Amino acid sequence: MSETKSKFNAVVFPGQGAQKLGMAKDFIEQYPVAAKVFETANEVLPFDIYEVCHENADMLNQTNYTQPAILVAEMAMYESLKSEYGLNPKAYAGHSLGEYSALTAAGVISFETALQMVTKRGELMNQAASDGTMTAIIMDEIPYAEVTRIANQHQVDVANDNSQQQVVLSGLESDMTNAITALTHHYNDVAFRAVPLTVSSAFHSRWMQSVEQVYMEYLQPFKADMNVTNLPQVASNFLGGFYPADKEQLVTALAKQISGSVKWRSNMALLQSMQILELGPNRPLRGFFKTIGVDITSVINVKSAAKAFSA
């Protein structure tokens, strides 16, 4: 391990959409701790994690496989950087699914527990609202309350408050069409873009409430082994702020995150004065931080890791 203490005191993990075939493969080849993460995952999961991450693009893009796969890749990368460069953050955050990587890295839940949680989460989310869709709204300065009001009039919810320039809407396809038409008409004199996302369901919307209670009940037995010592160092998507050291609030927030809005803009504000490392198979969070004038370092492979920790 490098004797130089890591300059990064905060780490952020991307969520679904960051997956890439071959992710973390170079870490497995170079670091035994990364290989161990994949081996452990294969003992827990009901499918071959190597096949999903490195060989089968169709499986990788199915929600029920995507979610555990991203967790495995991100934890393989995290354990490698911890071992090789002494990465030891004081704050953790993750975007949607990425929050489970943050909780695992912080030692709140074990890797095996996180695997079980995200596997169930992926299965439930995959089953709900199969005619749902999501659309990113991009503007120079988003009037959040107004966009929310117009979307809600058409039974469409704000799934992600990503930055002052982007929110993601979520709802049924027919409702989304009506909402986008209304928004386009309302903002016809300003720069306004609506970009459909490639997703299978209306994540983080009212259409996920049918699985929220099922998931909350599923999480109950895991409370016994949760370690809340470092929980106040982890940002909550649902709450917007850092978690309190409270197992009940953690379980409730994780369940409600499925149908609630991801308050990423609030999470970024918590970390903006820190030295932030983005860790995952892709780097979607870097652009969001730029909108608040914060430059972060992104590590997506072994090469970028070496560069990040030598700077």
Catalytic amino acids? 96, 204
Residues 6+ apart with CB under 8 A from 276: 8, 10, 11, 12, 289, 294, 296, 297
Token output for 32: 């035994």
Give, in order, the Cα–Cα distances in Å from 134 to each of 44, 116, 207, 273: 31, 26, 12, 31
Tokens representing 243 are 């978690």
Cα torsion angle, 79, 37, 211, 248, sign: negative
* Residue 32 neighbours by CB distance under 10 Å: 12
Q: Are 18 and 282 in contact (CB under 8 A)?
A: yes
* The two structure tokens encoding residue 13: 């993990």
**Strand (E) or helix (H) holding 136:** strand 132-139
Q: For residues 282 and 255, what is the distance between their CA atoms, to the nearest angstrom?
A: 26
Neighbours of 170 (CB within 10 A): 29
Through-space distance between the first and last CA atoms of the chain, rounded to whole angstroms = 16
- Radius of gyration of the chain measured on its C-alpha atoms: 19
Beta-sheet pairing, 276-279 with 157-163 = unpaired
Distances (CA, A) of 283 to 37, 175, 187, 207, 268: 21, 31, 30, 28, 15
Residues facing residue 193 across a β-bridge: 138
Helices 247-257 and 209-219 cross at an angle (nearest 10°) of: 150
DSSP 221: G
